[in-house]
Amino acid sequence: MLLHSHDPATGELVGTVAITPVDAIPDAVARAREAAKGWRDLGLEARAACLARAKEVILQRADDIGRQLTREMGKPLREAVGEVRSCGEGLHEELDEMVAALSPEVLHDGSTHTELRRDPYGVCAAITPWNYPFSMPHWMVLPALVAGNTVLLKPSERTPLTGQAYADCLQAVLPPGVLQVVHGDGAQGRALVDADVDLIAFTGSRAAGSHILQAAAGTLKRVLLELGGKDPLVVLGDADVEAAARHAARNAYRNCGQVCVSTERVLVDASVADPFEKAFARHAATLTVGHGLDEATVVGPMIDRRQRDAVVAQVKDALHAGARLLFGGDDLDADGNFLRPLALVDVPRDAAVRLEETFGPVATVETFTTDDEAVDLANEGVYGLGAIVFSGDTERARAVARRLDAGMVGINRGVGGAAGSPWVGAKQSGYGFHSGPHGHRQFAQVRIVSTREG
């Protein structure tokens, strides 16, 4: 059987891949476990050197893969090519960081000499999403492989071609069996989680992450979960309103709002709410919606009709309950997968669009009068991935930021940290984390070997 991938902008068939039969997954795991012996024995530096050869493969194929990514997922071509190229261009630096993070340490106290090793778990199942279908596999597969694990990658059934393209780039330099691809939907994902794997790395929805954690509990498999978000952007009364509105529009609607750290809630001091809302609407209106292959496009289509319908349902439910449109919304009942950026005000406190992840080009705007109220509003709900604070007073912004229940907080900027920072969520947005030296180490088992000194 085949898995068909369609262009979300046109509905045209982009390509197909063969679905992995569920009953074939145990054999794939067995091959991975057999391949793990030689891959582990190769050693940390040699594994990194092997993977370093993939840089040229990725860069040579970047333009073609990027174009395919746009046709399969919808994001603008320059962003798609940039996603692929960034994985190749930064590969050697990433590998150096991973080797340093995973290298042995020596501890001694005068009587005991201890080697602290970071060894592979064995076989890793990496289950990746569709919104960044090249870079998300990269963020999970690469550290797992450097740590000495073998990997079974299951890319999203919505973007199988790009996931396969990433695997092809690495398989061009890897020994057989070290990286395999499993294609399919939830049935294959469940079978992979239930299989004889040692580590599960997953990025996706909170609901799916909860099911994975429950399924893994029986055998205490190691689990890393990067889940959803409902990120707030807090605009304090002393903020640069124009800069805050510009950032809110960019961060709420890039990738058609299909980003785990999209700004989905804007919380603005009542004293500057009117100028902020006007500026927010003005900046959103500059974002051209269209096919990702069109040079002018800033916002492409949503991934598919199912996702669009879920987003529209949240918006309509809020409108029926009394919310108002600040801008947008005239295409809610249109055909196809496009949805222009929109924002809601006067949203009821219990509305799904205010509390649940929307994952579309939708933002809510509400006001506060004190910093304490802003913090309380920002911390509502179960999510805690990222948050942003805009203020003209850095110390005031830091004080607010330190009280936010989020794993990553940006002040007058996005949430991503300096080089080496982990990508980490709080509350129900994360269980473990990845990236940076601290994240790389989660793909390895700590083992200590001790002898007497003297």
Write the DSSP symbol of residue 255: G
How far apart are alpha carbons 239 and 254 in whole angstroms? Answer: 22
Residue 55: the pLDDT is: 98
Instruction: Give the tens place of pLDDT for each residue, 425-442.
Output: 999 999 999 999 999 999
Average pLDDT, rounded, for the chain: 97
**Averaged pLDDT, 184-199:** 97
Are residues 80 and 38 both part of a single domain? yes
Q: What is the CATH number of the domain that holds 323?
A: 3.40.309.10
Are residues 72 and 211 both part of a single domain? yes
Are residues 268 and 291 both part of a single domain? yes
Instruction: Give the tens place of pLDDT for each residue, 372-419.
Output: 999 999 999 999 999 999 999 999 999 999 999 999 999 999 999 999
Are residues 173 and 53 both part of a single domain? yes
pLDDT of residue 454 exceeding 80, the answer is no
Let me know if residue 63 belongs to a domain: yes
Helices (H), 122-240: 135-146, 160-171, 186-194, 206-217
Question: pLDDT category, 306, cuts 50, 70, 90?
Answer: very high
Are residues 191 and 303 both part of a single domain? no
**Averaged pLDDT, 222-243:** 97
Nearest to 58 by CA among 180, 181, 162, 176: 162
Are residues 248 and 376 both part of a single domain? yes
The model's pTM is 0.96
Let me know if residue 217 belongs to a domain: yes
Let me know if residue 415 belongs to a domain: yes
Residue 383: the pLDDT is: 97
Residue 304: the pLDDT is: 97
Query: What is the b/e burial string over 279-296, where b = at least 16 CB atoms within 10 angstroms of the residue's CB?
Result: bbbebbeebebbbbbeee
Question: pLDDT category, 453, cuts 50, 70, 90?
Answer: confident
Instruction: Give the tens place of pLDDT for each residue, 138-148.
Output: 999 999 999 99
Let me know if residue 112 belongs to a domain: yes
Q: What is the CATH number of the domain that holds 134?
A: 3.40.605.10
Contact 7, 302 (CB under 8 A): no
Number of domains in the chain: 2
Q: Is 134 exposed, middle or buried (0-12, 13-18, 19+ CB in 10 A)?
A: buried
Contact 334, 289 (CB under 8 A): no
**Averaged pLDDT, 223-230:** 96
**Averaged pLDDT, 206-216:** 95
Let me know if residue 314 belongs to a domain: yes
Are residues 123 and 216 both part of a single domain? yes
**Averaged pLDDT, 22-31:** 98
Q: Which residues contact 61 (CB under 8 A, 6 or more apart)?
A: 84, 165, 169
Are residues 433 and 395 both part of a single domain? no
Residue 142: the pLDDT is: 98
| Domain membership of residue 276 as a residue range | 231-419
Are residues 338 and 275 both part of a single domain? yes
Are residues 104 and 242 both part of a single domain? no
Around 166, how many Cα atoms within 13 Å sit in the side-chain half-sphere? 34
Element (H, E) at 383: strand 383-384
Question: pLDDT category, 339, cuts 50, 70, 90?
Answer: very high
Let me know if residue 424 belongs to a domain: no
Let me know if residue 155 belongs to a domain: yes
From the CB of residue 439, how many other CB atoms can be counted at a distance below 10 Å? 23
Are residues 311 and 447 both part of a single domain? no
Active-site residue set: 226, 260
% residues pLDDT > 70 (the chain):
100
Are residues 198 and 250 both part of a single domain? no
Residue 110: the pLDDT is: 86
**Averaged pLDDT, 269-296:** 98
